């Protein structure tokens, strides 16, 4: 999810003023730098809400708590016999309005002349990090309020308690008989700091050990991920990220903006970047994200209570 340190600029540290100005004039180069940063500081919301919804007419329609299992019983079919038909549930659709979030920063010519790439790099990093943090905070607050299913747990001070609570959570999500299967455990950074020393002795000592790899591990069949952008009062959340919900995106026809997906086809963040020359001897960089988080299936997640974290 989030790996540090964020990679440095592709431009050398001792670039000339002319090179810095050339970089600042190129929307493509600016977008490429945003892509480099987001490759390592990505959106947790996109990881947890994997569905994709295309906004049309300023809104998107979705069906809440949509089952992925019909509950119908398979029957024995005689040779040449008819197959029983399963009726799809007639659920009411809901509408979510499109929202555009954006940030901007102005870089004065004087600062480029004095410091070359430094003010440009700082502006891009701040815009990228703020956009990720703010969108994730809003998305995770939505998840927190939408998910009401809980699992009664015990104090997470011993590995056997943690394992038992997690397995009960997985069973509860699976037991909804909607085709859900837990994929991930979501914790705050401080919660993971408390849990990691308890769980690490259960993991391989060499290959796959998160201390050596520097990555979050897969434990009990779940990816354990953390974020500093989780809202206050966060309880360990076990989730089926394939079915919890998705991100609604609106395509806005603005010719000044460069979509990061056009720079890197693997970038699915829907982030767009533009630069504008201002009359006050400065260049404005703007970044926007026309996305809306949507929780369609709250039963695909459960909060584990009573952990003491």
Q: What is the pLDDT of residue 204?
A: 67
Position 15 confidence tier, pLDDT thresholds 50, 70, 90: confident
Residue reference for tokens 């020359």: 277
Q: Are 221 and 173 in contact (CB under 8 A)?
A: no
The residue-averaged pLDDT of 27-38 equals: 94
The residue-averaged pLDDT of 187-200 equals: 92
pTM > 0.75: yes or no: yes
- Does 4 score more than 50 pLDDT? no
> Which of 9-18, 168-177, 274-283 has the lowest average pLDDT?
9-18
pLDDT in tens, 71-115: 677 777 778 777 877 766 666 677 788 889 999 999 999 999 999
- Mean pLDDT computed over every residue of the chain: 87
Residue reference for tokens 């004039």: 25
Q: Provide the residue ranges of all domains of the chain, joining segments of one domain with +.
A: 17-68+96-305
Q: 231-257 as b/e, with b when 16 or more CB fall inside 10 Å? A: eeebbbbbbbbbbbbbbbbbeeeeeeb
Q: What is the pLDDT of residue 69?
A: 60
- Does 6 score more than 60 pLDDT? no
> Which of 126-130, 139-143, 201-205 has the lowest average pLDDT?
201-205
């Amino acid at each position: 999810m989030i790996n540090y340190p964020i990679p440095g600029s592709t431009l050398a540290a001792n670039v000339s003023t002319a090179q810095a100005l050339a970089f600042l004039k190129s929307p493509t180069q600016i977008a490429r730098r945003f892509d480099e940063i987001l490759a390592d500081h990505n959106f947790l919301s996109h990881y947890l809400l994997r569905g994709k919804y295309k906004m049309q007419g300023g809104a998107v329609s979705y069906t809440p708590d949509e089952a992925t299992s019909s509950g119908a019983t398979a029957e024995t079919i005689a040779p040449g016999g008819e197959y029983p038909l399963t009726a799809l549930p007639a659920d009411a659709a809901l509408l979510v309005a499109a929202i555009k979030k954006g940030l901007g920063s102005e870089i004065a010519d004087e600062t480029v002349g004095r410091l070359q790439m430094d003010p440009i790099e700082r502006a891009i990093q701040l815009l990228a990090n703020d956009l990720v943090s703010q969108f994730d905070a809003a998305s995770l607050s939505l998840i927190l309020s939408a998910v009401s299913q809980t699992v009664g747990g015990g104090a997470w001070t011993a590995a056997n308690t943690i394992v038992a609570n997690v397995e009960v959570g997985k069973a509860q999500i699976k037991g909804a008989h909607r085709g859900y299967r837990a994929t991930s455990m979501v914790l705050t950074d401080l919660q993971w700091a408390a849990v990691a020393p308890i769980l690490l002795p259960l993991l391989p000592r060499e290959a796959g050990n998160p201390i050596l790899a520097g990555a979050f591990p897969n434990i009990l069949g779940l990816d354990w991920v953390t974020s500093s952008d989780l809202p206050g009062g966060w309880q360990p959340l076990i989730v089926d990220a394939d079915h919890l919900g998705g991100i609604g995106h609106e395509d806005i026809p603005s010719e000044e903006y460069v979509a990061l997906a056009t720079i890197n086809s693997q970038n699915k963040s829907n982030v767009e970047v533009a630069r504008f020359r201002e009359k006050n001897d400065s260049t404005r960089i703007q970044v926007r994200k026309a996305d809306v988080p949507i929780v369609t299936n709250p039963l695909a997640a459960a909060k584990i209570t009573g952990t003491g974290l």
